[in-house]
Homo-oligomer: A and B are copies of this chain.
């Protein structure tokens, strides 16, 4: 399994809460059942407490799943757990959107903490 120590962080530039979203459109891992590759989009959203994740280290952490056999539900919860533990954010959400298999496409949403009101969609 990818080593969470691949992740690097930098101090938040402000003490006021704000929201960060990183959408990784080139995620791939391997289905542990069939051995065929899976392809998905990983959306990470969080409100930093004191630390922000560094973008290049996030890319390398995601790339480390490339040849891992792991199910959709497990990989989503694992990314949520690794990032929540390493960043200690006020709120964090991981959404994975997977390309169709057998005519069915899937989305998994794992959350840590409560949705911040400033993240609500305006008109």
* Interface members, chain A 67-96 (any B CB < 8 Å): 67, 71, 73-74, 76-77, 80-81, 93, 95
Kindly state whether residue A49 has any CB partner on chain B within 8 Å.
no
Is the Cβ of B109 less than 8 Å from the Cβ of A119?
yes
B77/A111 in contact, CB under 8 A: no
Minimum CB–CB distance from A95 to chain B (whole Å) comes to 8
Please indicate the chain B residues that have their CB under 8 angstroms from the CB of A101 in the complex.
Answer: 55
Instruction: State whether A26 and B14 are in contact (beta carbons under 8 Å apart), knowing that A115-B122, A121-B122 are contacts in the complex.
Output: no
Q: Is the CB of B19 within 8 A of A106?
A: no
Residues of A within 8 A of B (CB): 10, 12-14, 16, 18-26, 28, 36-37, 39, 45, 52, 55-56, 58-59, 63, 66-67, 71, 73-74, 76-77, 80-81, 93, 95, 99-111, 114-115, 117-123
